[in-house]
Structure 1
Amino acid sequence: MPTPQSERRPPRQVRQSPGGPGASARPTKVKLRTLLRVASVAGGIQFGWALQLSLLTPYVQELGIPHAWASIIWLCGPLSGLFVQPIVGHVSDRCTSRFGRRRPFILAGAVSIVVAVLVVGFSADIGWLFGDRGQIKIRAIVAFVFGFWILDVANNMTQGPCRALLADLTEKDHRRTRVANAYFSLFMAVGNILGYATGSYSNWFKIFPFTLTQACAVNCANLKSAFIIDTIFIIATTFISLSAANELPLTSHSISSHSGEETSRSSSEHEAFMWELFGTFKYLPGVVWVILLVTALTWIGWFPFLLFDTDWMGREIYGGEPNVGKRYADGVRMGSLGLMLNSVVLGITSVFMEKLCRKWGAGFTWGISNILMSLCFVGMLIITAIRSSLNIGFNPPPDGIVIASLIAFTVLGIPLAITYSVPYALVSTRIEALGLGQGLSMGVLNLAIVIPQVIVSVGAGPWDELFGGSNSPAFVIAALAAFIGGLIAILAIPRTRVDKPRMHH
């Protein structure tokens, strides 16, 4: 019976023991500060994601796309993740570049991100250049969607190899694998903090006055300026990450000598990766299926929030509408502030991730975080109901409502940190016995993330419109999915030796 194909790791660097060349050699562990530097590119990637998540749903509505269809724009993210990230992971497992297996893909992805964010940021100007003058800016929307799709493809092209590189460097050291994923989560938090802080600032157009044009008013100029800053940040973090990783190239000899079975495989296996990826599901043990199920439910919970968080603040809390007065824009900026606070908590939680998982077990920690996420969504629904019951007309919302909303955003940083770290560590450590490469392993988990996102992207907007056009119906589904996923994680993911503290002698 055929088995999943083996991971092709380059030979580890070794150092000679004091006994000389004839003595046994032992692997050289990668220093923690090296892992920290390698993970730093996550900060640059997440800076752009933060701007996307906080500003682009409101922005597409300002370009003229109705709220009911705003979520469709985000369909490109999960679709590109469904195909791009697994394929890039598969190809990078076999890449024989002299620069290593992962770094060429990280560099290419970072360059693509820079190009894409400039297209998105200048989409209104591009539309104006080609004749946009009406309320619905068709040409700007086309430019925006093109840049947005390239941006999501580039993000998925970069994130997968970065996580796989960290897994390569830590190899079978489960504790270091969790530490590396915690570092990745920490830099995601740093990128989020800086990105959301950038999105919440309303005077970038004064610092970058050239961003104000006939096609691009104040809100648009602030967004454009934020994406210009993003290009600088992604270039800096990519350089830090790529210069830190001493990645050995994978040679044709090391591929053929890694396993006797690999020399007998036909080249057709390399041309049918998606079939190979789906074929690996038959070999997955039951606990991995549980992890994938919980991951899917978790992302059904997260994606409505990530799509509509600042839109919820602008509509339900501040009572505004895009392109009508200042209340909606004020709400979007306040939502960005809440997401910045969320990221601070995410970063703090990442620091303690290893201790939490060692004490409680990764599955239990994940389950509790999902239940906390569900409670926060319920809290947001209650806040919406209270705000709707108040007769405040065109006045700003009461301070208590705004503070309660910010608290909900902030507390959600705890489960978000766990979502960004624990599932990856669980999958990486539990399916390595199957002989899967780390790139392919991340591709398997990625399917459980992007398929729910496709469902939410297609259904969230029309579902909300069916119940009056608010964001609350999507948050109801999110709360239920998160709660069910939490219960399954607590009851069905066993605590194994991977999760327990390791004894050092």
Structure 2
Amino acid sequence: MDSGGSTHSRSLLRSATVSELAQYLSLTIALGGLQFVWSVETGFGSLYLLSLGMKKSHVSLVWLAGPLSGLITQPLVGILSDNCTAKLGRRRPYIIGSTVVVVLCLIIIGWTRELTGSRPLPTVWLAVVAFYVLDFAINCIQASMRALIVDSLPTSRQDAGTAWASRMIGAGNVAGYLMGFLDLVRLLPFLGSTHMQVLTSIASLALVATVAITCYFTTETPLARLPTQLSTSGSSSSSLRALGTIFTSIRSLPAAIKGVCRIQLFSWIGWFPFLFYGTTYVAHIYAATHTSLGSDDNSADLMEKGTRAGSLAMFAYAVSSLGFSLILPLFAYSSASRTALRQRGARADTVSAFGRIRQVLRKVQQVVSVSLSRMWMVSLAVFSVAMLLTFVVSTVRGATWLIAACGFCWAVTIWVPFSIIGETISDYNSAERSMRDESRGDGYIPIESADIPMEELATGERRSNNAQLEREDTLQRSSDAGGLSAGTILGIHNVFIVMPQFITALASSLIFAFFEHANGPEPENPDRQHAHEIALVLRLGGISSVIAAYYAWKLRH
């Protein structure tokens, strides 16, 4: 009987695991499609705009679309979707509508010359407007998708959902840069006559397919049909107050989150030039090298081949990032995860050979793992060294190795800050959340048995009056302190990621404009000059990452 019951339990466990895996995949796959689109924009947008005749200083100003959209769209869409009463749900209308806009913008970008009759000024302006609208639509999808993950998963599975989102982002990066490296016109001529046309066509199809999967297999309860709907009176004014809170509540952030925001401010000054000019940097090195060797190719053919070389470098970076995102969580810990690891080790099966192996691996993991903040510090140091090594790197192979090494740094960047913020929010609000659930008085109160002492489970007795008063006092102190919601904290965190892009866009524009006026006549090897100018921007980002690494070293979490 025991053997049969055990077998049945394992069967149920496997079934539940498969069901959860399917939910994670369907819920987060749209982020992979969105990342594919974003990798196309960041990896090839600069080269495309330059091919239309724009100056590098003007291209830098185009990328102000990113911070503008992130600063406005994500907080605003989060608030509007919170109050959306559409039959499709709160998030899906924004996801579907923004997907349509993204596809239209990608079509315009791919066929800009055809739409304007190749007239220079209208072509440039149409492309710039399309890139701006594209950025706003991408941020709308991203904000809605992140909110949908929070809505759809219980608290105990939020961490797993975020981990799967990171994996989908990594997979989208790999796919995007791989497509850029391939000779798509030869492989898929029916999707377009130029590389950019085929690339935007594939990106459109990938986004539509992944969004369709997420929206079809993810169910939402319309806001108007929720069983306990709060009064909506004054919702407009409260939404405006909530939006204002994003920009006025920085002083009340917990210390750990203030530290994270400070690090992000300096680290993203380095990341934005890398993301927007990495492909262009390698492409100009390729063109400069082959020009020096006396290549018979004209400048357009050299840049076409250089673009594929840059795409290969970014593809190596994306593969490196995806691999590290799977491995690094095994060698890093937060206070909560280290406690859980010890508890699992205490309960581990030490009878079977497999159980003993797992026990040994857990002990090794405890010995070699480092804290999240230390791993973040190391990644920032590695990134700064890679950017400063552009002083000595002058070959495509060397530049490719530098960019691939940054995959380690990117894997940490899209994981560690959000892990620290998530755990800090949970610790900061746990007492308030528990007290609010117990004092709702509107019928069913969801509780977890882990929150109830064992003697209360056995006897059914209430908590002591002293304990209840103590919890009420804790809640009162939290309320008086103006405790922040997760949405507000994430909105503030996004501001510290967005602001560096303003800084880098303006700084790089000034640097490029200076060289455009200082060079005078066309240099003998303009591609080498262009590579030097981009490398200078990358080095400034490396210096900023040194400052970020110092603050990560000081971070105590």
Q: Which TM-score tier does this pair reach, normalised by the shorter chain? A: 0.7 to 0.9
Counterparts of 1:92-491 in structure 2, within 5 Å, are: 92-128=81-117, 132=119, 137-173=120-156, 176-204=157-185, 207-208=188-189, 211-212=192-193, 221-251=194-224, 256-257=229-230, 267-319=236-288, 324-358=299-333, 359-383=369-393, 387=394, 401-431=395-425, 433=429, 436=484, 438-466=486-514, 470-491=533-554
Q: Give the Cα–Cα distance (whole angstroms) in 2 for the partners of residues 227 and 349 of structure 1.
A: 28
Q: Is the 8 A contact 1:160 1:439 kept in 2?
A: no
Distance 1:92 1:428 in 2: 22
Q: CA deviation at 1:286?
A: 1.8
Q: Distance in 1 between matches of 2:226 and 2:249?
A: 26
Q: Give CA-to-partner distance per residue, 1:106-150, whole Å, 9 cap, x none.
A: 22222221111111111111121xx61xxxx11111111121111
Q: Distance in 2 between matches of 1:177 and 1:457?
A: 34
What does residue 445 of structure 2 align with?
none
Name the structure 1 match of 2:5: none
TM superposition shift of 1:324: 2.7
1:42 counterpart SS class: helix
1:45 Cα deviation after fit: 0.6
2:52 corresponds to 1:63? yes
Query: Structure 1 pair 95/429, CA: closer, same or farther in 2 (3 Å)?
Result: farther
**In the TM superposition, what whole-angstrom CA distance separates every residue of 1:315-347 from its partner, at most 9, and x where no partner exists?**
234318998343222222101011111111111
Provide the C-alpha distance between the structure 2 equivalents of 1:58 and 1:382, rounded to a whole number of angstroms: 24
After superposition, the C-alpha distances for 1:378-420 in whole angstroms (9 at most, x for unaligned) are 223320xxx3xxxxxxxxxxxxx32222111111111112212
Distance 2:51 2:72 in 1: 30
Which whole-Å CA distance do the structure 2 matches of 1:100 and 1:263 have between them?
17
Structure with higher helix content = 2
C-alpha displacement at 1:365, in angstroms? 2.0
Opposite residue 479 of structure 1, the aligned amino acid is: G
Instruction: Tell me the distance in 1 between the aligned counterparts of 2:97 and 2:487.
Output: 17
Q: Per the alignment, do residues 280 and 40 of structure 1 end up closer, same or farther by CA in structure 2, a change over 3 Å counting?
A: same
8 Å CA contact 1:164–1:438 kept in 2: the answer is no
Read off the aligned partner of 1:154 and give its amino acid letter. A
Change (3 A) 1:141 1:254: farther
Q: 1:247 to 1:478 in 2, by over 3 A?
A: same
Corresponding letter in the other structure for 1:410: A
Structure 1 residues 266 and 70, CA gap change in structure 2 (3 angstroms): closer
Preserved contact between residue 253 and residue 489 of structure 2 (Cα < 8 Å): no
Counterpart in 2 of 1:216?
Answer: none
Aligned equivalents of 1:302, 1:490: Cα separation in 2: 19
Which of the two has higher C-alpha Rg?
A: 2
CA change 1:95–1:201 in 2 (3 A) is same
1:329 match: secondary structure: helix
For residue 131 of structure 2, what is the amino acid of its counterpart?
F
Give 2:510's aligned amino acid. P
SS of residue in 2 equivalent to 1:163: helix
Query: 2:458 — aligned with what?
Result: none
- The answer to whether the Cα contact below 8 Å between 2:246 and 2:489 also exists between their aligned partners in 1 is no
- Residues 7-59 of structure 1, C-alpha deviation per residue, up to 9 Å, x if partnerless? xxxxxxxxxxxxxxxxxxxxx99924312321111111111111112211011
| 2:457 corresponds to | none
Give the count of matched residue pairs. 431
Aligned-pair CA distance for 1:237? 0.6
The code of the aligned residue for 1:455 comes to I
SS of equivalent to 1:318: helix
Paired letter, 1:248: T
Select between 97-106 and 312-321 the one with higher mean Cα deviation. Answer: 312-321
Alignment check: 8 A CA contact 1:381 1:475 kept: no
Contact 1:296 1:452 in 2 (8 A): yes
3-state SS of paired residue (2:392): helix
CA contact (8 A) 1:277 1:440 kept: yes
Unaligned stretches of 5+ in structure 1?
A: 1-27, 213-220, 388-400, 495-505
Residue 352 of structure 1 aligns with an amino acid whose one-letter code is: I
Report which stretch shifted further, 162-171 or 244-253.
Answer: 244-253
TM-score normalised by L of structure 2? 0.72
How has the CA–CA distance of structure 1 residues 178 and 345 changed in structure 2, closer, same or farther, with 3 Å as cutoff? Answer: farther
Question: Does the aligned pair in 2 maintain the 1:40–1:241 contact within 8 Å?
Answer: yes
Shift in CA distance, 266/116, structure 1 to aligned 2, threshold 3 Å: closer
Q: Cα RMSD between the aligned structures?
A: 2.7
Residue type of the partner of 1:222?
A: H
Q: Tell me the TM-score normalized by structure 1.
A: 0.79
Give the Å deviation of 1:437.
Answer: 5.1
8 Å contact kept, 2:88–2:222: yes
Structure 1 residue 85: Cα displacement? 0.9
Alpha-carbon displacement from aligned partner over 1:65-123 (angstroms, at most 9, x marks no partner): 01222111111111111101111112223333333322222222222211111111111
Residues 1:448 and 1:272: Cα distance change in structure 2 (over 3 Å) = same
8 Å contact from structure 1 (residues 160, 442) kept in 2: no
Deviation, 1:250, is 2.9
Q: In structure 1, what is the Cα distance between the partners aligned to 2:310 and 2:545?
A: 22
The answer (yes or no) to whether the contact 2:56–2:512 under 8 Å persists in 1 is: no
Q: Is the 8 A contact 2:245 2:488 kept in 1?
A: no
Structure 1 residues 281 and 453: alpha-carbon distance in aligned structure 2, compared to 1, 3 A threshold: same
Amino acid across the alignment from 1:192: N
The whole-number CA distance in structure 1 between the counterparts of 2:221 and 2:370 is 37
What is the rounded CA distance, in whole Å, between the counterparts of 1:466 and 1:350 in structure 2?
Answer: 39
Q: Deviations over 1:476-499 (max 9, x none)?
A: 2110111221221132131xxxxx
